[in-house]
Chain A
């Protein structure tokens, strides 16, 4: 093999050198180098060269690409996986380079080999490319060249080729004659009961896709029996994939057939002894619900959903809890409220005090959405107590999820109903020992401020926002600065001038240089939102004064701040006040201060 490959390589290189020589033209020389690098010992060089394969092909022309380059590439299949991956990807875009759709089948041999390698990534990429170029085959070529390849893969010795075949049936089925269609169906059937679970998994994962291209009669006769068999496979990793296929299959069938053809299997999956299968059902619940329609949802899915919400594995409960809102939203409107109130809400109530924090936080991320569905009265009577309980949950994630979804409730009952409980929850999160939790709550401040209004904010939350400015974690101070800017955008410059600017500027005299720097960072963030007047009259004097700070970090941040607020100032202030200070800083003893002062001078064009 390798000798044959070597000859091939030699001939390709020779051709190019000859071409280059004959034309007395050196422009092909780089191509010769690239081809040479395809066989270099260094993987990186081979990889670079493979990535420029289209350039090589273009230079060789379609004829030589077909007769020389492709056979050569087919022989390099024994290379490193990384090179093969790049090759598999390239070949998917090679149609024009081999002479257009008429010759696209030339690309099949190398891709066929790539579709049989062990490494999943390479194989998947080869299948992706094969699927792509299958569309460029004429119907005749599809039957003459492509379909035989699929058959060869489907009956390969090693599981890898059979796995790849699973992904190719659906792309050729719609465009071949009925005899060939029958063969394809037969091959798919065989792979669904393959000996190795790897192949059955691949077949199960393509079942839905294949069902979509089949004629309805065959869906009923072929697909359903395969679906039923895979859904009761001895391995749970196969069974759970059948659940995914269930969604597509149910969508294809007319309503009256669902009960007999799909539902027995779906019911069985929802009660499977493996939690992984039940998890999959919970995870796909909204899709399943849409696929089977309102009647079956009412009769079958509601009890199934209740069971999943009460499952013995926390994983399953959490997956189901995540779907509570979507499930309720998609219930048929005529008796949606009744179903939720009598069947779903009792389960939800239990989940609020679940033993597992992930279940609770999954629920907390969607539970607020129920208020729009249930309306004001039900929300106040039934949901509010749950929200309040979750706001007091021991796990910060649960509280955060409630707070981050407050907007849903705000629309229905107004946030005031919650404010009594909200405040302690916010304060506690604001002082949480984990800085990531503090960071998360800061991010919701602008939203909360918008909903609670300026008065409530000034009274209760303003102190918190200012306290974050002197947090000992930089990320929090930074977020707090950004938060102030958003608040000013919301409440306006006048509010800023009265409430926050004095406090921010006061920090300029703090003994801790980190706090003094925070003043500068705040000014950077606020100057634009506050406008020229406040910036010039209140902020600028403070910044200028800080240019005499003992700490160099503060001084060079003064230079950076001046550069930042410069555009907000008028030219008079720039020339008379900013320029002298920057010039002085530009002669500072510290290198960094000099650097940033000079940068500011040039950016503000003060030189």
Chain B
């Protein structure tokens, strides 16, 4: 039976699990709430609570009709009007007021986007105040505490009809040719940015999309905030990895970082290397990796392209966190390794080839055919193949026994034929080494099993060689 205790568990709540011993993480909230919402609202918002008294809105004259002398004053009044918040959970409440605000927001967006000379200094604090009042709020508890971003529909923000226009206004404001960073930096400060970052936990993908673009612009235009933004993103990630394992906006933040990394100066600062080793690599351990893996792998590869010397950290890091039971993640790791190998420098490759190919051999012998298949596809990549060929003396002995054994044992026919292909490739690369390994494998094998050794005679060995040739030509 469900218990009646009802702990909150929202994406951003500092929740921890009962089952994980690390649960004595600092706050004592169980991660998985036991509640199961019966009738799910698809909208949620806790914004309206702080409305002190409902103000009746009256429509103001249109901006486009205003005489130039009164334009700024009217603009300012409209900004103030838009600071009034409405209850969107009650969809019929104050429809007139909602419409007036919507129209005003539309006008503001339009005006900032199209007319020049609107953004004068006194408007900055008013604009930022309007934006803050509307977007900054404590995100409501998740409707579905076991929210799985891959399976479940996200809870959408109920006040989106207004919120979207506010975000749109903010974006246009930042992108306006009149925008002056020197004026904005007084109002868009560290506290503002911190609140902006917290909103990335929103379950509503539309909101996160806007936030992503906006943060990117802020990062681009307000240079003084850059280091602070990076540090706070670090903190969000560390909390996600080691404390809550829940944050909806990881993918969006990584996407921004992807382009930030691109712009790092060389040689890489210690701060940036630390970010790679202590934040980006451990992010691979997250349970929800699949949601942001593409963006994460992109960041990792960006780092390598910037500075090849980080390659060894990256590969050894991935090997350390290699998934032990989750095959779906294993396939993602293999994908990332291939992306890395695609751009790896041969000198760096030599430094990691040994541990790396031990892991690849382990993947090839995985009973899960997708894992084995993903690993075997490496041999279809020309650049990787050239690296393997150059280092055949090291790599072939590492993988030979596995290939040999799996070619005999694997249940999946596709895997077997892929392996025959790989064996054939090796045979062509270095037939002498291949024969030596075959012979010594046979000796080893006989030492351990008296019963039915794999190759009891030279004949069957020739058969094996023939089999490789036949099978590989058919696939």
Q: Roughly how many angstroms separate A240 CA and B8 CA in the complex, as a whole number?
A: 13
Residues in chain A near residue B1, CB distance under 8 A: 397, 400, 436, 439-440
Which of the residues B28, B50, B138, B141 comes within 8 Å of A236, measured between beta carbons?
B138
The smallest C-beta distance from B137 to any residue of chain A, in angstroms, reads 8
Q: Is A481 an interface residue (CB 8 A)?
A: no
Q: Once the chains bind, are B26 and A275 in contact (CB under 8 Å)?
A: no
Q: Does B14 contact A (CB under 8 A)?
A: yes
Q: Which residues of B contact A397 (CB under 8 A)?
A: 1-2, 4
Q: Tell me if B6 and A198 are in contact (CB < 8 A).
A: no
Task: Tell me if A395 and B141 are in contact (CB < 8 A).
Answer: no
Residues facing A in B23-57 (CB within 8 A) are 24-28, 35, 38, 46, 49-50
Chain B residues near A198 (CB, 8 Å)?
A: 235, 238-239, 242-243
- B439 CB-CB contact with A under 8 Å: no
Known: A158-B278, A241-B27, A364-B4. A275 touches B14 (CB 8 A): no
**Stretch of A249-257, A312-320, A544-552 that contacts chain B:** A312-320
CB-CB nearest in chain A for B20 = A121
Residues B278 and A276 in contact, CB atoms below 8 Å apart:
no
Number of A residues, CB within 8 Å of B: 49
Judging by beta carbons under 8 Å apart, are B4 and A361 in contact?
Answer: yes
Is A113 interfacial (CB-CB < 8 Å)? Answer: no
For A395, the closest partner residue in chain B by CB is B38
A440 to B239, CA, bound (A): 39
Flag whether B13 is at the interface (Cβ < 8 A): yes
Q: Is B282 an interface residue (CB 8 A)?
A: yes
- Closest approach, in angstroms, between the C-beta of A169 and any C-beta of chain B? 15
Known: A202-B26, A364-B4. Is A273-B242 also a contact (CB below 8 A)?
Answer: no
Residues of A within 8 A of B235 (CB): 196-198
* B191 A362 Cβ-Cβ under 8 A: no
User: What's the nearest-Cβ distance from chain A to residue B5, in Å?
Assistant: 6
**Cβ of A129 under 8 Å from chain B:** no
Q: Which residue of A has the minimal Cβ distance to B358?
A: A41
Q: Which of A118, A241, A283, A359 contacts B242 (CB 8 A)?
A: A118
CB-CB under 8 A from B50, the residues of chain A are 273
Cross-chain contact A275 with B141 (CB below 8 angstroms): yes
**Contact status A357-B8, CB under 8 Å:** no
Tell me whether B21 is interfacial, beta carbon within 8 Å: yes
The answer to whether B140 has its CB under 8 Å from any CB of chain A is yes
For the complex, give the distance between the alpha carbons of A322 and B255 in Å: 43
Q: Does A330 contact B (CB under 8 A)?
A: no
CA distance A312 to B90 in the complex (A): 13
Residue contact A275 to B4, C-beta cutoff 8 Å: no
Check A234 against B8 for contact (C-beta < 8 Å). no
Q: Closest chain B residue to A236 by CB distance?
A: B138
Residue of A nearest to B320 (CB): A80
B343 within 8 A of A: no
| B26 A322 Cβ-Cβ under 8 A | no
Instruction: List A191-228 residues whose CB lies under 8 Å from chain B.
Output: 195-198, 201-202, 204-205
Do A204 and B238 touch across chains, with their CB atoms under 8 A apart? no
- Residues of B at the A interface (CB closer than 8 Å) are 1-2, 4-8, 10, 13-14, 20-22, 24-28, 35, 38, 46, 49-50, 138, 140-141, 191, 194, 231, 235, 238-239, 242-243, 278, 282
5 A-B contacts (beta carbon < 8 Å):
A121-B22, A196-B238, A201-B27, A237-B26, A241-B26
Q: Would you list the 7 A-B pairs with minimal beta carbon distance, nearest first? A: A315-B8, A318-B6, A237-B14, A365-B4, A205-B26, A121-B22, A120-B22
